[in-house]
Structure 1
Amino acid sequence: MILVTGGTGLVGSHLLFHLTKNGENVTASYRTKDAIDKVNTVFGYYTNEPEILLEKIIWVQADITEIGSLPPLFEGIKYVYHCAALISFDPNDYPALVKTNTEGTANIVNLCLEHNIKKLCYVSSIAAIGPSSKGKKAEEDNEWSTKHASVYALTKHDAELEVWRGSQEGLAVVIVNPGVVLGPGFWHTGSGTFFKYAAKGKKSFIPGGTGFVTVEDVVNAMVSLMESTIGRERFILVNENLTFEELFQKIASKLNVVPPTKKIPFWVLECFWRVDWLRNKLLGKRRKLTKNMTKGFYKRELYSNDKLKNAIDFKFGDLDATIAFCCAKFKA
């Protein structure tokens, strides 16, 4: 039996589809029943009968921050995919990020140890990878730096430390560090907002760039690593390193809209994050752009995927094909 935490998110829902399609017995956590409807939508992108696969999942309502709700998740479980996380770059959300990403992961690790779980796969992020140096791609062993790190990155890094602590106590673990994950179904959050933005025919794009990966490749890599004998390792999952301009050009071409052509000047970003900070202090508005986010746009981060390809002979899929698929589902 396999447990998937965060099964109602982008990665979790696609992982559940892969596992159920291949006949695995799966338990998944959820927080609200409305979230399960999103999973049904995602399944519907790939099959005409999503309900059949959805019925194979044992759903358990649980919150990884509430230790008392978690034991029922682990009944009969041998393998765990820990996908649950809170994503936010607003400094005001730091306590909640610590509670979910770091302390929640510690709870999962402790229960894995208690229930003699055979292997844990933790979904981290490239945000927890040390920055790349000029002319060289970042690798898994890059030195970690808190300089300009977002609150999200800080808590994902600390969550990884909890996983490594579990490995020292005898738990078999593997960590994946995906780039920005592209996949259909969550158009109002995360990478889904790129498709919304491009569809509106916006004229401006943010500077900089980062690593992008398809949700299919994230799922395939996770499953392959769990089925392998590899342990106590982490792997960067990135199909391609793109600038945001290049990404919007790819999306716009598939949505049949004009791509943004004006790079937002750095001085505008510097002004905006200060105004945004003031709006937060005076009006209590959520932060849209922080100082650390702005500094991050000054540099295009590059990531290497060589370690994964060499470890399990992994072949990444076609990023353009996934973007086209996402655009078709977005338009539908």
Structure 2
Amino acid sequence: MILVTGGTGLVGSHLLFKLISNNENVRAIYRREKTLQRVKHVFSYFSDDAETLFDKIKWVEADINDIPKLQDAFKGITHVYHCAAFVSFEPDKYKTLRKVNIKGTANIVNLCISYRVKKLCYVSSIAAIGHHSDPEKFIDEQTAWNPEDDNSVYAITKYGAELEVWRGTQEGLDAIIVNPGIILGAGYWNGGSSGNLFKQIYKGMRYYVNGVTGYVDVWDAVNTMHQLIESDIKNEKFILISENLSFKAFQTKTAKALNVKPPMKEAKQWLLNIAWRLDWLQFKLFSKRRSLSKQNSKSALSVTKYNNSKLKNALDFEFKPIDEVIVDVSKLYLKDLNTT
């Protein structure tokens, strides 16, 4: 039996659809019952029989820091996809990020060892990979992480979670780590998911930024994760990137797919520097949630290009072009918009 943590998230929901469609025996962890409706909604995009497929999943209500409930979830499990994570770039959320991303992953790793799980696939992030001083030099799996860099709190905890997985491999656990870029998929239009970018662009964005990063289709992420866990490959990490694209290009392509105007003004460094300081001041004075940190503003302007050749060579895999992904996700966003 397969266990999926974070089953109600963007990656988890699409992964569950794939596994159930393949007639796999699946157990999935959720924390709040209301989030189960999101999974049903994602299933409805791709099947006329979404309810039947959903009912094949054996759901377990648990928190990844609740050991007794996790022990129940692990009974009879042979393979684990660890997709659960807390995504936030707000510095004041650091303790929660550590608890969920590092301690929670340590719990999953320990239980994998205790229950003699055959293989673990951990969903990390390109945020947990090091960077080069030369923006034109491609980043790969061997690029060293520098703890002295001005890393975001999210990046720090995802890197810490990877260390827990590597610790598990030293204790006999076979594992794979995947490092996806910005994962593009439908059904999650709010919060920290990439779907919120489609929502913001549709509503209208005045400014664009010229930073560059990597993007990947959620189905490419799910399919490569499945292939890796089914393969003989173990104790390796893989960057999951279809293309490196500027934020401006992504905003423009998405605006076109949504039939709205693209942002026309460039947000230069001085403007972002003012913006994140004002954001910090509002947090201090009015306890308003942070929406732009110093690290976020830096990332918006930085050029980071990723090399996906290790994954492509290992699996003989070809990624879906991001232009096609943007069009497909935009269509589903507009469909949801017209039915609400």
Per the normalisation by structure 1, the TM-score is: 0.98
Corresponding residue for residue 126 of structure 1: 126
Alpha-carbon shift at residue 33 of structure 1 (Å) = 1.1
Contact kept in structure 2, 1:4 and 1:26, CA below 8 Å: yes
Q: Which of 113-122 and 130-139 deviates more?
A: 130-139
Contiguous gaps of at least 5 residues in structure 2 = 336-340
Structure 2 distance, partners of 1:319, 1:208, is 17
The counterpart of 1:261, out of the listed 264, 267, 275, is 264
Alpha-carbon shift at residue 65 of structure 1 (Å) = 1.6
Contact kept in structure 2, 1:235 and 1:308, CA below 8 Å: yes
Contact kept in structure 1, 2:243 and 2:321, CA below 8 Å: no
Alpha-carbon shift at residue 148 of structure 1 (Å) = 2.0
Alignment of 1:1-80 (within 5 A): 1-80=1-80
Identity across matched positions, percent: 51
1:331 aligns with 2:334: yes
What residue identity is the alignment partner of 1:215?
Answer: V
1:65 partner SS: coil
Alignment of 1:1-332 (within 5 A): 1-132=1-132, 133-146=134-147, 147-189=149-191, 190-332=193-335
Contact kept in structure 2, 1:181 and 1:213, CA below 8 Å: yes
Residues 198, 298 of structure 1: alpha-carbon distance in 2 compared, 3 angstrom cutoff:
closer
Contact kept in structure 2, 1:148 and 1:296, CA below 8 Å: no
2:276 partner SS: helix
Structure 2 distance, partners of 1:32, 1:90, is 23
Residues 298, 255 of structure 1: alpha-carbon distance in 2 compared, 3 angstrom cutoff:
closer
Contiguous gaps of at least 5 residues in structure 1 = none
Alpha-carbon shift at residue 118 of structure 1 (Å) = 0.2
What residue identity is the alignment partner of 1:78?
Answer: T
Q: Which of 206-215 and 149-158 deviates more?
A: 206-215
What residue identity is the alignment partner of 1:4?
Answer: V
What number of residue pairs does the alignment pair up? 332
Structure 2 distance, partners of 1:294, 1:328, is 29
1:4 partner SS: strand
Give the root-mean-square deviation of aligned CA atoms.
1.0
Structure 1 distance, partners of 2:206, 2:293, is 22
The one-character-per-residue Cα deviations of 1:293-331 (angstroms, maximum 9, x if unpaired) are 222233111101000011111111132222111111111
Contact kept in structure 2, 1:195 and 1:251, CA below 8 Å: yes
2:29 partner SS: strand
The one-character-per-residue Cα deviations of 1:47-102 (angstroms, maximum 9, x if unpaired) are 11101110110000000022222111111110000000000000000000000000
Alpha-carbon shift at residue 215 of structure 1 (Å) = 0.1
The one-character-per-residue Cα deviations of 1:144-176 (angstroms, maximum 9, x if unpaired) are 023121000000000000000000000000000
- In the TM superposition, structure 1's runs of 4+ consecutive aligned residues that sit over 4 Å from their partners are none
Structure 2 distance, partners of 1:162, 1:208, is 31
Structure 2 distance, partners of 1:68, 1:158, is 24
Structure 2 distance, partners of 1:198, 1:176, is 28
Contact kept in structure 2, 1:12 and 1:83, CA below 8 Å: yes
Contact kept in structure 2, 1:131 and 1:142, CA below 8 Å: yes
Contact kept in structure 2, 1:148 and 1:293, CA below 8 Å: no
